[in-house]
C-alpha cells in the first residue's frame, strides 16, 4: 500500500490537535475536517462584536491548529442539517441541549463520505475514553462508530491502547505501540505533551459549541413548555439578550449591548419590537402580540435597560406604532419573569 492517508476531526482543542500530531509523527498524511454546526461560540461572539479580554478577536481554534500542524483543513458546513439533530436527537440530550451522541454520529458519517470520495483510509478523532460521561464510554464509542458505518475505522490515538485495536492498527498502517492510553477527565498528560511538542492551543479545549450552556438549555426547555415548539430562529435567539416571559405568554428578548442591539434589529421585519426613542438605550424583540395592559410593562422594562432612566419608548405591535413614557421597572419585578439558569447566573 502507498502512503497511508486519514481524515481527522479537528475542533482545534488540545485533544484533537494532539491526535493529529501523533499520526503526523508516524508519517501519515492527514486532512483535517472542521464542522460548522451553526452553534459555534466563536461565530456567535464575533457576530455580537465581542472581543477577548486581551482585546483580540476570538479566533477559530481549528484554523489556528491546522496552520500550526501544517495540515490542510476543510470546513464542512452542516448547519442546515444540524437543526434537525438539535430538535430531534435519536439518542437524546446530554445535561443541557447538547445532542452529543447524535452529533458525533453525524460528523463521522460526513467524515466517512469525504474519506471514501477522496481516497483516505480511516478517520481520526481526539476522543479520550471516559473524558465525557455521555459520549465517551466504550459502549458509546462503539455505538457511534457503528451508527456511522465506520466500525473499526475510527482511530483515537490518545486512547488507542485502552481500546480494542482498530483496522488501521491491525493492518499495520499505524504503529499501535506509539499511540497513547489516556483515559478520564484529567488533562495532565495532554498538557505535558503539548509542552513537549511546543503546541499552542485554545482554552477551553474540546469544542466550541454553546448547546452545552445551561442558560441556553433553560431557554430551550422553557420555550418548548410554553410555546409547544422551537423554531430554527428560536435556536439562534436563545443565545442572545435577556429573555423575559410576560404573564400573557409574550416574550421579550432585550439586547444587553450594542452588538446585540445591532443583531436583534436584524429581525425587525418578522417580530414586534420596542426601543428607546432617542436611540440612547436598548432594543427588544417582542415575540407574540402583547395585550394592552402589558404595553406599559414593556415600556418600563425598556426604560430599565436604557440607562435606568425615564424615557420615551417606541413600539411596533402588528400595524400599530405606539409611543409611551417608560419608567424604569424594579429589578425584583423583572426577575420574576426572566428565563435563565438561576444557579449558574450567566444570563
Binding to another protein in span 280-299, by CB under 8 A: none
Q: Which stretch binds another protein (CB under 8 A): 72-80, 82-90, 220-228, 287-295?
A: 72-80
Beta carbons of 109 and 117 less than 8 angstroms apart: no
C-alpha cell of residue 23: 499520526
The C-alpha cell of 41 is what?
A: 461560540
Residue of the chain from 24, 63, 143, 167 that contacts another protein (CB under 8 A): 63
Residue 227 C-beta-side C-alpha neighbours within 13 Å: 16
Residue 57 in contact with another protein, rule: CB under 8 A = yes
**String of DSSP letters for 138-193:** HHHHHHHHHHTT-TT-EE-TTTGGGSPPPHHHHTTSS-GGGS---BSS--HHHHHH
Pick the stretch among 61-69, 105-113, 158-166, 180-188 that binds another protein (CB under 8 A).
61-69
**Contact status: 62 vs another protein (CB under 8 A):** yes
60 is an interface residue for another protein by CB under 8 A: yes
When asked if residue 74 is in the footprint of another protein (CB under 8 A), the reply is yes
Contacts 24+ apart (CB under 8 A), 129-133: 129/156, 129/159, 129/162, 129/163, 129/182, 129/183, 129/184, 130/183, 130/184, 130/185, 131/15, 131/183, 131/184, 131/185, 131/206, 132/100
Q: Contact between 50 and another protein (CB under 8 A)?
A: no
d(C-alpha 133, C-alpha 244), whole Å? 33
Contact region with another protein (CB under 8 A), list: 40-48, 97-105, 140-148, 177-185: 40-48
75 binds another protein (CB under 8 A): yes
Interface region with another protein, contact rule CB under 8 A, candidates 63-71, 104-112, 177-185, 209-217: 63-71
The stretch among 59-67, 232-240, 283-291, 319-327 that binds another protein (CB under 8 A) is 59-67
Q: Does 71 bind another protein (CB under 8 A)?
A: yes
Closest approach of Cβ 31 to another protein, in Å?
Answer: 6
* Beta partners for residue 73, in sequence order: 32
Is 121 in contact with 90 (CB distance < 8 Å)? Answer: no
Q: CB of residue 108 vs another protein: minimum separation in angstroms?
A: 20
Q: Scanning residues 86 to 145, which ones bind another protein (CB under 8 A)?
A: 118
Residues forming the site for another protein (CB under 8 A):
31-32, 34, 36, 40, 42-44, 46-47, 57-60, 62-64, 66-67, 69-75, 77, 118
Amino acid at each position: 500500500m502507498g502512503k497511508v492517508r486519514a481524515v481527522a476531526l479537528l475542533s482545534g482543542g488540545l485533544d484533537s490537535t494532539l491526535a493529529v500530531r501523533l499520526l503526523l509523527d508516524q508519517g501519515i498524511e492527514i486532512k483535517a475536517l472542521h464542522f460548522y454546526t451553526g452553534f459555534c461560540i466563536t461565530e456567535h461572539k464575533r457576530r455580537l462584536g465581542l472581543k477577548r479580554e486581551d482585546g483580540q478577536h476570538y479566533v477559530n481554534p481549528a484554523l489556528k491548529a491546522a496552520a500550526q500542524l501544517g495540515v490542510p483543513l476543510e470546513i464542512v458546513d452542516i448547519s442546515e442539517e444540524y437543526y434537525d439533530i438539535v430538535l430531534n436527537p435519536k439518542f437524546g440530550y446530554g445535561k443541557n441541549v447538547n445532542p452529543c451522541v447524535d452529533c458525533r454520529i453525524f460528523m463521522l458519517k460526513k467524515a466517512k463520505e469525504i474519506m471514501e470520495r477522496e481516497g483516505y483510509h480511516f478517520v481520526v478523532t481526539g476522543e479520550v475514553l471516559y473524558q465525557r460521561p455521555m459520549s465517551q464510554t466504550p459502549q458509546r464509542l462503539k455505538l457511534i462508530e457503528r451508527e456511522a458505518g465506520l466500525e473499526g475505522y475510527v482511530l483515537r490515538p490518545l486512547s488507542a491502547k485502552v481500546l480494542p485495536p482498530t483496522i488501521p492498527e491491525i493492518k499495520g498502517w499505524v504503529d499501535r505501540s506509539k499511540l497513547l492510553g489516556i483515559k478520564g477527565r484529567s488533562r495532565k498528560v495532554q498538557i505535558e505533551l503539548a509542552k513537549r511538542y511546543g503546541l499552542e492551543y485554545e482554552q477551553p479545549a474540546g469544542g466550541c459549541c454553546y448547546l452545552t450552556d445551561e442558560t441556553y438549555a433553560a431557554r430551550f426547555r422553557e420555550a418548548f413548555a410554553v410555546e409547544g415548539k422551537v423554531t430554527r430562529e428560536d435556536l439562534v435567539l436563545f443565545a442572545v439578550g435577556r429573555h423575559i416571559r410576560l404573564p400573557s405568554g409574550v416574550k421579550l428578548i432585550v439586547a444587553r449591548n450594542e452588538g446585540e442591539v445591532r443583531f436583534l434589529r436584524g429581525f425587525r421585519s418578522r417580530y414586534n419590537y420596542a426601543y428607546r426613542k432617542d436611540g440612547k438605550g436598548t432594543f427588544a424583540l417582542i415575540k407574540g402580540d402583547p395585550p394592552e395592559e402589558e404595553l406599559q410593562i414593556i415600556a418600563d422594562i425598556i426604560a430599565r435597560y436604557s440607562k435606568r432612566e425615564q424615557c420615551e419608548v417606541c413600539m411596533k405591535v402588528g400595524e400599530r406604532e405606539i409611543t409611551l413614557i417608560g419608567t424604569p421597572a424594579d429589578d425584583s419585578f423583572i426577575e420574576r419573569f426572566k428565563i435563565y439558569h438561576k444557579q449558574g447566573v450567566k444570563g
